[in-house]
Structure 1
Amino acid sequence: MTEEMILSIGRQALVTALLVAGPVLVLGLLAGLVVSLLQATTQLTDQTLAFIPKIVVVMLSVLLFGPWMLRTMLDFTGRVIGLLPSVVR
């Protein structure tokens, strides 16, 4: 196993992690921004108002993007497992 192969696998792992987590994080961030703007304009300071919409949005985004996220992780795992014979030698 060469250094280039290790760096390539590490880079692919980081890209895969960002791709899988990205949609959920972005939608959670947007939900938080909308709730914060709503709280700022209405001067509501209830803490549960900040968390409940974010939790709902994150759960819905996991349901929506779940199959794609699973496929992406399985593709990466398959590529890494496919490299095992070259590593074992």
Structure 2
Amino acid sequence: MADTIRDRVRKIIAEQAVLDVEDVKGEQTLEDLGIDSLGLVESIFTIEEEFDIQVPFNANEPEKSEFDISSVNAIIGAVEGLVKDQHG
């Protein structure tokens, strides 16, 4: 069975944080996981490539982004919404 969006996003975040996927919990923030702003941008690029989506994210003004990066669960939800919107 193919990995779910949740599994794939957690894997991307885990790789960026140099952690095992099991150590990435939904309620954690990227900061909790030790991911800095450069790591965030790299994660966004990887997510875009993995899911063939365009993430509405401005690295210069992340607080003004439509893409919720407040927690792992928020990122997963945002990716699920973008995949649905952009791929029907």
Verify same fold: TM over 0.5.
Answer: no
Name the one with the larger helix percent: 1
User: Which structure is richer in relative contact order (CA contacts within 8 A, separation 6 or more)?
Assistant: 1
TM-score relative to the length of structure 2: 0.33
